[in-house]
Chain A
Amino acid sequence: MLDISKIRKQFPILSTKVNGENLVYFDNGATTQKPQSVITAESNYYQNENSNVHRGVHFLSGLATDKFEETRITIQNFIGAKHSHEIIFTKGTTDSINIVASGYRTLLNKGDEIIISELEHHSNIVPWQMCCEQSGATLKVIPLLDNGSLDMIAFENFLSENTKLVSVSHISNTLGTINPIEKIIEKAQAVGAKVMIDGAQAAAHISLNMQSLGADFYCFSAHKLYGPTGVGILYGKEDVLNELPPYQGGGEMIKEVSFKKTTYACLPHKFEAGTPNIAGVVAFKSAIDFITELGLSNIAKYEEELLQYATEEVLKIEGLKIYGTAKNKSGIISFNINELHPYDIGMIVDKMGIAIRTGHHCTQPIMERFNIPGTARISLAVYNTKEEIDICINALKKAKMMLS
């Protein structure tokens, strides 16, 4: 059993007052708050460890490099990757997807096909549209069923020897659907396609093992895992990453440079041109330590309990409709109340200290699918409580009253 009040004490921002009320932070799908250990690690880095990585012979450069690489090993263990050089540090999930999509521009030709799904975040749509535009490949989109899960029959019908890459999210940021990625990976790889999983909404909630999962690429952002912003992970299988052309040229990513021919560095440096967000990477380790100490399975169990409670309670509000009712769901509840605009609801509950997200959540195709302008979204994290859910429900009722 997790001691939630003890966990909450580790997050200084959770004691913030908004408009005189206690902050209720339900926008964890956008970004989670940071525990003191992460904040301390980031500032400690600049106070005591700052230097550039992999570049100097001096004491501090060695120290910074060690710390930086320590996080790589931590991530390797956290996601069960075979090699540490399969872990690439990026700016975030969007950056990770763009690195792969940009590489595939030269790997794909006319007649090749990429499959994504209707529930993807724009950052798992647009890079592939750009990739198709430049390579001549075709984009196919797995449709959604009414409950917010993927139409797996349509998916299987799309698969052919032309399928070169499938990129889908592990968990939908808008609907909370946990996609059957094991099955997607198995079916796609059976026709020789590579599979990329956008794990932005999953890595803080589901324990991962890359070796048993078998995904070719998997990516996520540190800031949705209680870590700093501006740091992301691109995991790729060694051989797949070796085949992928580099994304950016610059320092650190080269083996030899001459004006006749430049050769690229080995993994992971081939994809890490320029000085990275060293402080962020170093502090990310503290975030992973925070999660590991609590235990991802404990976190998942607690969040499942919260999700169930929140779902039952919000449905007691008359006229409230939840979008995304798949059987397998993570701690995200997207909803509308009657014909009320989600923006109005969000503005009113904000005044009562409650942070929810409103709008299309960077998933306009989902909004189009359900023919709505947007939704209000509650997204949960380990520090949330049932009391906070009660406060939110009351605020929603008040908003409904004011707006009806």
Chain B
Amino acid sequence: MSTIKKIQAEIVEDFGMFDDWMQKYEYLIDLGNELAPIKEQYKTEDNLIKGCQSRVWLHAEHTQGKIIFTADSDAIMTKGIVAILINVLSNQAPKDIATAKLDFINEIGLKDQLSPTRANGLVSMIKKMKLYAIAFNN
């Protein structure tokens, strides 16, 4: 099992423990609060992914064959999901990121939040993470 797959399995397991939406949302809020901060200098217009509802900043660095993502959002629930995506895709090889299937999103019941109609910037964030991976892979 690849690392990305393994991390996804762990996340699915974590979410499996919650009985209701409140626990799930509280967990997301915690994850959002615990997300390692992005460096202020990277919170630029270029790194901003504008959603209609919330905004996401994403920065990528390529070191020692891996991509390190840092990110932030102005909405804490969005930031919680951002934290999960960072957990799954950061510190991985570009090739693995580019080809990763993010099946866990459906399994943890956050499909709605990651649908293009939600306009919270998350779909564009995944797309951008993959684009970085493709660019760094070449």
Contacts and interface: CB of A to CB of B under 8 A. Distances in A.
Co-complex (A, B)? yes
Interface in A332-366: 340-341, 343-344, 346-348, 351, 358-360
B54 A343 contact: yes
Given A359-B52, A403-B29, A344 B77 contact: yes
Contacts of B75: 341, 343-344
A341 B26 contact: no
Interface in B87-126: 120
A360 to B, nearest CB: 8
A211 B74 CA distance: 48
A346 B25 CA distance: 12
Contact of B55 (A19, A340, A373): A373
Nearest to B120: A343
Given A341-B75, A344-B75, A351-B21, A402 B52 contact: no
Given A341-B74, A343-B53, A343-B120, A19 B21 contact: yes
Contacts of A359: 52-53
A403 to B, nearest CB: 6
A343 B21 contact: no
B74 A402 contact: no
A344 B26 CA distance: 11
A19 B52 CA distance: 25
Contact of A343 (B22, B29, B77): B77
A358 B51 CA distance: 12
Interface in A351-398: 351, 358-360, 373-374
Interface residues of A, number: 16
Interface residues of B, number: 15
Given A343-B54, A343-B120, A373 B25 contact: no
B118 to A, nearest CB: 10
Contacts of B8: none
A258 B11 CA distance: 69
A402 B54 contact: no
A360 B119 CA distance: 12
B70 interface: no
B29 A341 contact: no
B12 interface: no
A20 to B, nearest CB: 10
B76 interface: yes
A231 B120 CA distance: 29
B54 A341 contact: yes
A95 to B, nearest CB: 22
Contacts of A344: 75-78
Interface of A: 19, 340-341, 343-344, 346-348, 351, 358-360, 373-374, 402-403
15 contacts: A341-B75, A343-B53, A343-B75, A344-B77, A347-B77, A348-B25, A358-B53, A359-B52, A360-B52, A373-B74, A402-B22, A402-B26, A402-B29, A403-B29, A403-B76
Sorted nearest first, the 4 A-B pairs with minimum C-beta distance are A341-B75, A343-B75, A343-B53, A343-B54
Given A341-B75, A343-B77, 16 more contacts: A343-B54, A343-B120, A344-B78, A347-B25, A347-B77, A348-B25, A351-B22, A358-B53, A359-B52, A359-B53, A360-B52, A373-B55, A373-B74, A402-B25, A402-B26, A402-B29
Interface of B: 21-22, 25-26, 29, 52-55, 74-78, 120
